[in-house]
């Protein structure tokens, strides 16, 4: 069943995918689609804000660690 979302919700879902992929260095289209599918599943489970979506992604895929520069 397709995800139904308001424009505001869609913006939050898009932001969750974009931020996670950026922070984790995910650029491959198939991997980005997988992250988007996880976000959709998290919404179906009741995660409706950016913080809960991010936590759900980190629980499912592991936390993002930004590389440190020396």
Let me know if 39 is exposed, middle or buried by CB neighbors in 10 A (0-12, 13-18, 19+): buried
Task: Name the more confident of 63 and 21.
Answer: 21
Task: State if pTM tops 0.85.
Answer: no
Using CA atoms, how far apart are residues 30 and 42, in angstroms rounded to an integer? 18
pLDDT, one tens digit per residue, over 11-36 is: 999 999 999 999 989 999 999 999 99
Q: Is 44 helix (H, G, I), strand (E, B) or coil?
A: helix
Confidence of residue 65 (pLDDT cuts 50, 70, 90): low
Eight-state DSSP code of residue 64:
-
CB atoms within 10 A of CB 45: 10
């Amino acid at each position: 069943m397709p995800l139904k979302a308001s424009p505001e919700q869609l913006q939050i879902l898009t932001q969750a995918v974009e931020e996670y992929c950026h922070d984790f260095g995910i650029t491959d289209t198939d991997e980005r689609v997988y992250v988007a599918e996880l976000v959709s599943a998290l919404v179906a489970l009741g995660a409706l804000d950016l913080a809960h979506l991010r936590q759900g992604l980190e629980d499912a895929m592991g936390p993002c660690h930004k590389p440190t520069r020396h």
